[in-house]
Amino acid sequence: MSTHINAANKGDIAESILLPGDPLRAKFIAETYLNDPKCFNEIRGMLGYTGTYKGVPVSVMGTGMGMPSMGIYSWELITEYDVQNLIRIGTAGSFHKDIKIKDIVIGMSASTDSNYIHAFDVPGTYAPCASWELLSKARDASEKLEIPFKAGNIVSCDVFYEFGDWWKKWAKMDVMAVEMEAAALYMNAAYNSVNAMAMMTISDHFVTGERSTAEERQKSFTDMMELALEIATK
């Protein structure tokens, strides 16, 4: 079988998958970390691979930018390919001085300004959260690999180029950082009773103005990649 955006057949994708936004980051992870990686998708340039890590099958696939794109890819991975554990590995912008460039943050919850939740017809305000199963594995993997992370509330926003001091209001509510995909991933996972977690490396800083280069975003965030792979194969 295949879908209009995924050329994979049933069984080509592992139960656990890493989801970077950038498909070239997926390619880098597959070629750097996976044994015998096989490309299962090239449609729309959204590269996906399956191989093994420490003897355990694991997949990695790009999702593109924003909640609509993450929503489509993650929904099909869950409902068409039976993926059970989805780990977003991306980048985020920090709102606080003590959360620095290249720090890893995990979204225990994902606030959002998106209307994505309206698709589920929930009679109230929904709070998208990560799966405890993956969070507990992240804690154990962090101790084992000695790769620290910070965990808390993040915000998933629909607009990349926003103006003014909007972010300070989120920071005042102790939101750690901003990204664009986690809330949709968490909603899809919750609706379909599977596990999801969003892990990001800080690439931009709203307080200091620091920014990572495009190459650093694609290839240098190896601590996050190794931590995610350890979680996916536990």
CB atoms within 10 A of CB 56: 14
Look up the pTM and report it. Answer: 0.96
| Spatial separation of the C-alpha atoms in residues 85 and 101, rounded to whole Å | 27
Which of 51-55, 78-82, 111-115, 157-161 has the weakest average pLDDT?
157-161
The pLDDT assigned to 4 comes to: 84
What does the pLDDT average to over 145-164?
94
pLDDT at res. 79: 97
- What is the full DSSP assignment across 213-234? -HHHHHHT-HHHHHHHHHHHT-
**Closest alpha carbon to 231 in 56, 26, 72, 114:** 56
Residue 216 has pLDDT above 80, yes or no: no
Q: What is the mean pLDDT of residues 102-129?
A: 96
Mean pLDDT of all residues in 91-111: 96
Euclidean distance between CA atoms 63 and 107, whole angstroms? 18
Q: What is the mean pLDDT of the chain?
A: 95
pLDDT in tens, 3-54: 889 999 999 999 999 999 999 999 999 999 999 999 999 999 999 999 999 9
Residues assigned a catalytic role: 204
> Cα(19)–Cα(47) distance, rounded to whole angstroms?
11
User: What CA–CA distance (Å, rounded) separates 70 from 38?
Assistant: 22
Q: Kindly report the CATH number that applies to the domain delimited by 16-232.
A: 3.40.50.1580
Q: What is the pLDDT of residue 148?
A: 96
Share of the chain above pLDDT 70, in %: 98
Which of 193-202, 205-214, 223-232 has the weakest average pLDDT?
205-214
Domain ranges within the chain, ordered by starting residue: 16-232
CB 204 within 8 A of CB 210: yes
Mean pLDDT of 58-76: 97
Burial of 65 (0-12, 13-18, 19+ CB in 10 A): middle
